[in-house]
Structure 1
């Protein structure tokens, strides 16, 4: 079993492991709401919509995190304002802004002398080059995400399943929607410069989607997503070490692979589940509902 622990005896792999685990926990908290709310396309658009801010910050020697946050903020504000017009669907506004921001970012980056390197780092990051300061930043982001998730839990649950009911109960769905956008922005901005937008989006969606197939209570979905994301990090780093693959992309691929394993296992479990043995016919629900309670 020495092969299992040998890579993690190296200091930079240890830091990569800690970074991957922290990102997994952040994405488990945020990704659960993204999956339940159906915000996957928005998450993808937000992650790539940061490119103009990152590119401009790099060109002018400013803080890359600040540029990413401003760009993501512009994206979130644009989606919110255009969606309120009522004449365009949210998917349409997200798609338009996604293309506009990504195209603008590529145009800006194309004037740089290090176009390929900058774009590759933006997409895939460099998890094996994580510094101690990066780990501190991820820890702070995790704490903020946890506090917001706890304080906004009731509003997020109502918004995820029935926004009209949330309004009736006085839970201020628009404010909850804004906080959710803020959580998505926090997860992406805090993590992308360490692990890249590809890994962030992979850990944001795949583990939570895999957990939803099994768990019915939201805290259990978050716990399952954290476990799947952590396992993806370990598997990805091991495969990267022994096969010489890109660490960030391998972790993201591992997360998606675990989702498909979970989906197949869930399907087989349903097919092999014994039929009711009672004499009377018992209706079998086609879809299991997620419980609102914590």
Structure 2
């Protein structure tokens, strides 16, 4: 079993992929915990796809892909808030409109290039085995900002998740907390897309935190557990990808989602067994009483 992992991470390429994946998993698990708790999964999905036009323009105009993704993320956040403030439509409607519009625009821009198929696959599915030093540095900086953000913002984020009106009464500025959370989410997507792709970053945002929430209730503990599940998905996914010769990023994301269903099945089975045991225990006194009455 040890050789299974030693062989997989024996080269510098796979070790760099491991480090990049661990950075991405840590960031997405931390902010993803709030995404799951607040029910922002649809926004996370939209944000993961919404950065595509900026990436496409970066390719066409020849500037940094990360800057392009960041510009698109800003447009997404501003656009969603504009729809929310100027119309009576729900947030989901605004997110859905921008989600489809930005994704379509990105595909149209990329389709104008001769390398359409290769570029699109790379942007959507990532290339964890092609992680470079600059992306590791960016990931480290983004991780530090994310950790500081979730620590400093823990109290207002928690109050916002429970009751926005009560958060306002307590002077925790829920509107500002919401924007701060969206900015952290955007930062995570922008810093992670080069590793796992815009399509699969969503799996990292949701799967490890959702798995953690099945097991624990306290937010800080859920974040730690989510990070552990994210790391496990990266290590196991990359090792399986190496030996099975499958797409690395997709394999990692698949393992992350698979963990959720394994834990879900285990918790359901455990709950059934505990309920069955309680019913049996509660039945013993009644059986004894019935026997005594019969005598």
Shorter-normalised TM-score: what interval?
over 0.9
Tell me the residue number matched to 2:55: 54
Long gaps (5+) in structure 1: 280-294
Tell me the residue number matched to 2:161: 160
Superposed displacement of residue 194, structure 1: 2.4
Contact 2:49 2:199 in 1 (8 A): no
Superposed displacement of residue 85, structure 1: 3.3
Tell me the residue number matched to 1:275: 278
Q: Which 4+ stretches in 1 moved above 6 angstroms? A: none
Question: SS where residue 9 of structure 2 aligns?
Answer: helix
Tell me the residue number matched to 2:291: none
Superposed displacement of residue 240, structure 1: 0.7
Question: SS where residue 170 of structure 1 aligns?
Answer: coil
Contact 1:198 1:249 in 2 (8 A): no
Superposed displacement of residue 165, structure 1: 1.3
TM-score (norm 1): 0.92
Tell me the residue number matched to 1:141: 142
The 1-side partners of 2:187 and 2:197 are apart by 14
Long gaps (5+) in structure 2: 284-295
Question: SS where residue 191 of structure 2 aligns?
Answer: helix
Count of aligned residue pairs for this structure pair: 279
TM-score (norm 2): 0.92
Superposed displacement of residue 246, structure 1: 0.4
**Superposed CA offset, 1:182-219 (max 9, x none):** 01100000110222123321111000000001101111
The 2-side partners of 1:278 and 1:264 are apart by 26
Q: Is residue 200 of structure 1 aligned with residue 201 of structure 2?
A: yes
Superposed displacement of residue 86, structure 1: 5.1
Alignment map for 1:234-273 (pairs within 5 Å): 234-273=235-274
Superposed displacement of residue 81, structure 1: 1.6
Superposed displacement of residue 278, structure 1: 7.0
Superposed displacement of residue 275, structure 1: 2.2
C-alpha distance 17-85 of structure 1, shift in aligned 2 (>3 A): same
Question: SS where residue 84 of structure 1 aligns?
Answer: helix
Q: Is residue 93 of structure 1 aligned with residue 87 of structure 2?
A: no
The 2-side partners of 1:181 and 1:224 are apart by 22
Relative to total residues, which structure has the larger helix share, 1 or 2?
A: 2
The 2-side partners of 1:52 and 1:37 are apart by 27
Question: SS where residue 275 of structure 1 aligns?
Answer: helix
Q: Which has the larger radius of gyration?
A: 2
